[in-house]
Amino acid sequence: NACNEHKVKLSVGYRMQSDPYTHEVKKYVGEKTFGDVLFVSSDAGYVSNGNPNQWRLNKKLSGGGALMNMGVYAIQTSIYGTGQNPISVSAQEFSTRPDYFKDTDETITAQFKFENGAVAHMMTSHNANGNRLKCHCSKGWFELDPAHSYGPISGRTSNGDVLKFPHKRQQALQMDDFAKHILLDSKNLAPGEMGKRDMIIVEAIYKSIREGGQEQLLSLGDLGIVV
């Protein structure tokens, strides 16, 4: 609201929104290349073996654990993998190293429902490697594996195609896109509203966990966010 009031352009540092593999996924979904998307699976995680006193394991400094760090990637891929914002989410939390992850979440899974009947399952973790997106559709499937690392990304489809784009630094692409938005008024690929939407989803996931996996309804349409 402050940025809008003062005519300041605001963008979230979502590097994957500028990545050509993300654009290709959005194209498949939008054009229904493989039919309607029915189910999306997305993983985002890595194994943390570092200093147990690091800031990422301190909730006061990090705000949360795996969900706040890696989970947003899985939330994002679940959304642009279906081309919609979710209408509800249910979530679960697991810990296999409670002595190390004393203050923050180690592993979280969540299930999204979408208005057209599609569903998505995501996993995020600080104690398991995950870097994949797969979209199961009515006429085939497509996937990215790896899906959201710093690259190179790789993808393939059920018709035998291999997705291969020239590898470029995602942060450079992201800065170029935002510079174009400032200078040329091109589309803002990751507006502030997108970040707000994702934080609403994060908070709903944490609430579902506190309530024993209870489904949380989401009202995201009013934000006017293009997925």
Average pLDDT, the chain: 96
Per-residue pLDDT tens digits for 96-155: 999 999 999 999 999 999 999 999 999 999 999 999 999 999 999 999 999 999 989 999
Q: Does position 47 have pLDDT exceeding 70, yes or no?
A: yes
State mean pLDDT over 184-211: 96
Average pLDDT over residues 155-178: 96
What does the domain layout of the chain look like in residue ranges? Answer: 2-222
Instruction: Please state, for a pLDDT cut of 70, what percent of the chain lies above it.
Output: 98
Record the tokens describing residue 167, joined without a space.
């590898």
| pLDDT in the model for residue 226 | 65
Q: Under 8 Å CB-to-CB from 171, ≥6 apart: which residues?
A: 15
227: pLDDT confidence band, cut at 50, 70 and 90? Answer: confident
Inter-residue contact 150 to 174 (CB < 8 Å): no
pLDDT band at 221 (very low <50, low <70, confident <90, very high): confident
Q: How far apart are CA 198 and CA 80, in angstroms?
A: 12
pLDDT digits (tens, 9 = 90+) for 8-32: 999 999 999 999 999 999 999 999 9
User: What is the CATH superfamily name and number for domain 2-222?
Assistant: Dihydrodipicolinate Reductase; domain 2 (3.30.360.10)
User: End-to-end CA distance of the chain, in Å?
Assistant: 20
Residue 168 in this model has a pLDDT that exceeds 80: yes
The 3-class SS string of 7-49 reads CCCCECCCHHHHCHHHHHHHHHHHHCECECEEEEEEEEEEECC
Q: Is the pLDDT of residue 224 over 70?
A: no
